[in-house]
Amino acid sequence: MTLAIQEDEKRFFINNEKGEMIAEISFVPSGEKLSIIDHTYVDDVLQGQGVGKKLVALVVDKMRKEHRKIIPLCPFAKHQFDVTPEYQDIRQ
């Protein structure tokens, strides 16, 4: 099963073949130079596949391109920032 990660203005997400959302990370701009990761969700069918980590990495890449810092308020994202030294340059 190959599922495409989609993107809209404030999130990356994955829908299953029925169109149901099974993974998501949402982020909210805060001023001109910050974004807040406020929510991460991965359905049980995707657990253990590194989907959550991939979603965090996509937000990090996007915010680096936009020259924004990230405040990881979501507990999962905060943990990923805590254990990933490569993210420290973009963390607010």
Domains by residue range for the chain, with CATH: 5-87 (3.40.630.30)
Which pair of structure tokens corresponds to residue 43?
């359905």
| 71-90: pLDDT as tens digits | 999 999 999 999 999 999 99
What pLDDT shows up at residue 89? 95
| 34-72: pLDDT as tens digits | 999 999 999 999 999 999 999 999 999 999 999 999 999
The answer, yes or no, to whether residue 91 has pLDDT greater than 60, is yes
Half-sphere exposure of 1 (CA within 13 A, CB side): 10
What is the average pLDDT across 2-29? 94
State the pTM of this model.
0.94
First to last CA, the chain: 36
